Structure 1
Amino acid sequence: MKDKIMILGGANLHCKLVEAAHQMEKETIVVDNVKNSPAKLISDYSYDIDVKDVDRLADICRNQNIKAVLSAYLDFCQPYYQKLCSLLNCPCFGTDEQFKIFTDKELFKKKCLEYGVNTIKGYTEKELQSLDVVEYPIYIKPSISQGSKGQCVCYNKEEALRAINGAKMISKNGKVIIEKYMAKKHIIQVTYLVLDGIPKLIRTADQINGSDKYGMQHIAIAGISPSKYTNLFLKKVNHKIKNMIKHIGIKNSPVFMQGFVDEDDFYFFDPGLRFPGTEASRIFKNVMNIDLMQAMIEFSFSGKILSLQNVIDEDTVYLKNYIILNLFPFIKKGKIKSISPIDNLLKINGVEYVTYRHKVGDVVDDTKDVNQRIAEINILGTTKEKINNTIKDVYDILQVLDVKGNNMILDRFILK
């Protein structure tokens, strides 16, 4: 009889976990409240149960002898993953307190400052009442949320008060973060894999946002690895973050952090006890021979990650001199009538993997957030010129038509 693993969250990002479990001859059970979500369609079994209902999920695990639970790429699922693991006494990335630190942006900022890791200058709601204290523009966002929802730039007190009310409605704990607006600053993402309490930097990425023209200047249209700031990061802040992770007590887990680069220093604002929400792990497997997905399955059953102990080193972050580009094309509002077949895109030289975020029949609104992404397209190359040639071919072939026959692609991107 095969060992069984329950995977929380059936979004596209978790398909690779189901695939990895099958390769390791494990039986998969995917759960969320979305009927026929992508990972469910390839799983052995599935349940249409909200991941918040951890007591019910725990009963299913006990009754069906499910010994492992996992969520590795979906921010929303992470707190419930920890609670379910706690109920079942099975391996988990962290404790309740550790997950709170890497989910609640306010707690994260306090922990960063404790270990000398810079964060963005912030304000309290009380300080907002004083025009002498607050330096506009400011950025307001929910303390706990996903997908850039509820975030807003404010240029005066009146706008700020409206934004606070909106952000509180979205924030899971009803709290908001009020920060200096880091206009036009570069964003860096860093990912660690902690093995037996030792944090190992495996990836850096520069986030490239959409254009002001379409109001997408706060949403990533692409991410490129390695970051052009990798050497500076290693010199100035890597040791501080590693020290923080060690003292928080993380033993075996991915750790994701996002920050701004300003005047040769780094200011962090967004964390996660997970991998970033992309398909870059697939390229790691193909190019680096580092199977992060199977490592997560291994950990879920054993509580250890032995398979990567002697695989990840200080050069891993440089990706063997390859460039990885994650491209997230935006689409306009409308109802989708047709989408180019994935196979057409996979034939393009340099395209490694494609996953669509929407399907024919979906109605997309002008939300100016990640909901307007039509796809994630993973591109691999050795030079920017080769990457740009692939991007051009992608935009030439990718068509998303609305019911009136108009191409819904919103913004074209090229590496500069």
Structure 2
Amino acid sequence: MNLQGKKLLILGATANEIPVVQRAQSMGVYVIVTDYNLDHRLSPAKDVADECWDVSWSDMDALEQLCIGNGVNGVTAGFSEFRVDCTIELTARLGLPCYVTKDQLAVTRDKALFKAECKKYGIPVIHDYASIDEVDHFPVIVKPVDRAGSIGVGIAWTEDELQAVYDQAMEKSIVKQVVIEDYITRATEMDVHYAICNGEICLLCTDDIIAAANNQADGKVVQSVWLYPCRHEEQFLKDVDPAMRAMIRGLGIKNGTIFFSGFVNKEGDFSFFECGFRLWGEQEFEFDFRKGLMNYLDIYISHALTGDTSGVRLNPAGNIKLKGAAINFYVKGGTIASIKGLDDIAQMEDCTLALQDSYIGQACDGSKAILVKSALVGFANECSQALEKDVQEAYEKYVVHDETGEDMVYDRIARGTVANWWL
């Protein structure tokens, strides 16, 4: 796969885009990022890319002219359905490859369309309600049909709370539609990640999600840690994986990555509520590669620049037995005065990712359901005890203080959780 000297435009310049920029640069690609932020603290990928444009990723007319004038060979985006939508339009204008169609994006971004598609293929989904008047069981979770990353999501534990939560979700929805579902409390939230290369479907990983201990009391939806694999992975492979592969094929997906989010109870019963046909926030590409799979970022880079993914390679030296842990460092309300420890974490032997997602002087709103993420770090090891040690060491090393010297990290999972997770 010779991409030397080709020019790639990435729509977006957040911290999430930094690994994509660096991966493309390692292949000899000249990388451009774009958004309207002039403050590079808000768009740190601008300091990593070879070139940056201060143009909104939604300004199609301006970007079209810039791409033509600068000889851009490919365009890609991830982490947001809105940016992916813009990628579809911009690549169509420029006659460049795009991994996704509008119809595919519609099914995978709209939670109602997604659930209908799941039912078509026999994928179990969470019970929902057509309106707030039909809700006869609590708690329920209310979500905009067209937003991701927990934007607009709220939980109503009583009938008195329902209207406010409903209004919040409706206000955040672009198309003014919401989904009301039973809020699952006696199960573990989990994800499934697939990569598709030239029509070949590969299961990258499954994970279990450890939620913050005070989520319910504080009205938060904070995911503190992802653990790989899901401890019910064998049951998933038997009961659900064939249906998901059928759905991927039925949607006509040939290239890209897709994730499914759901719940699994102690009996191994699954139910799913959303998916995304794009890059995701977990950023476990290095973990997947160490397992012997591909670095899935290569799919997006290669397809954007060539329209083909046949050059994407697996890692022949991988260890499929690896387990993984990814820590989200969310912070409480206040102004960040100091951040320490991320460079030390990056030097740890098992570290697969150390990504800064905040900056000194950042004002953080602690009242919202979604808190500010300060950093994301990941680890891989075959031994759960070693992973436990990695997680605890990371908790000791990574320190965020506010202006009064108070610890800002919102949650750290209980000691022993990782060591005992797969027992």
Quote the Cα distance in structure 2 between the aligned partners of 1:390 and 1:156.
40
1:298-317 equivalences in 2 (<5 Å) = 298-308=302-312, 311=314
- Which residue in 1 is equivalent to 2:300? 296
Letter in 2 for 1:204: T
**Is 388-397 or 166-175 further displaced after alignment?**
388-397
* C-alpha deviation, 1:293, in angstroms: 2.1
Paired position in structure 1 for 2:184: 182
Query: Equivalent residue for 1:284?
Result: 288
Q: Unaligned stretches of 5+ in structure 2?
A: none
Whether the 8 Å CA contact 2:290–2:315 is kept in 1: the answer is no
Q: Distance in 1 between matches of 2:105 and 2:315?
A: 24
* Cα distance, 1:276 vs structure 2: 2.1
Going from structure 1 to structure 2, the CA distance change for 1:287 and 1:103 (only over 3 Å counts) comes to same
Structure 1 stretches lacking a partner, 5+ long: none
1:220-271 residue CA offsets vs partner (Å, 9 max, x unmatched): 1010111111111110011101101111111111111111113422211121
Preserved contact between residue 33 and residue 50 of structure 1 (Cα < 8 Å): yes
Return closer, same or farther for 1:290/1:13 CA change in 2, 3 Å cut-off: same
Counterpart of 1:124 in structure 2 is: 130
Q: Please state if 1:67 is matched with 2:70.
A: no
Q: 1:209 to 1:137 in 2, by over 3 A?
A: same
The offset of 1:6, in angstroms, is 0.6
CA distance, structure 1, for counterparts of residue 408 and residue 240 of structure 2: 41
- The number of residue pairs the alignment matches comes to 408
Distance, in Å, in 1 between the alignment partners of 2:99 and 2:219 is 33
Counterpart for residue 402 of structure 2 = 402
Aligned to 1:234: 237
State the Cα distance separating 1:204 from its structure 2 match.
0.9
In 2: Cα distance, 1:105 partner to 1:322 partner: 32
Q: Which of 95, 100, 121 is the matching residue for 1:94?
A: 100
SS of residue paired to 1:297: helix
Q: Secondary structure at the match of 2:259?
A: strand
SS at match of 1:366: coil
Q: Distance in 1 between matches of 2:392 and 2:150?
A: 27
Counterparts of 1:314-353 in structure 2, within 5 Å, are 320-353=320-353
Tell me if structure 2 keeps the 8 A contact 1:129–1:157: no
Aligned ranges 1:72-91 → 2 under 5 Å: 72-91=78-97
Say if 1:9 and 1:74, in contact at 8 Å, map to a contact too: no
Which amino acid in structure 2 is aligned with residue 290 of structure 1? M
1:266 to 263, 270, 274: 270
CA–CA distance in structure 1, aligned partners of residues 126 and 315 of structure 2:
31
- Identity percentage of aligned residues: 25
Q: CA deviation at 1:349?
A: 4.7
Quick check: 2:78–2:278 contact (8 Å CA) kept in 1? yes
State the distance in 2 between where 1:240 and 1:22 align.
37
Shift of 1:148: 1.0
Q: 1:139: Cα distance to partner?
A: 1.1
Taking the aligned partners of 1:411 and 1:45, their CA distance within structure 2 comes to 37
RMSD value, Cα: 2.2
Q: Which AA in structure 1 matches 2:62?
A: R
TM-score, scaled to structure 2: 0.90
Q: Please give the TM-score of this superposition, normalised by the length of structure 1.
A: 0.92
**Secondary structure, counterpart of 1:118 in structure 2:** coil
CA contact (8 A) 1:68 1:301 kept: yes
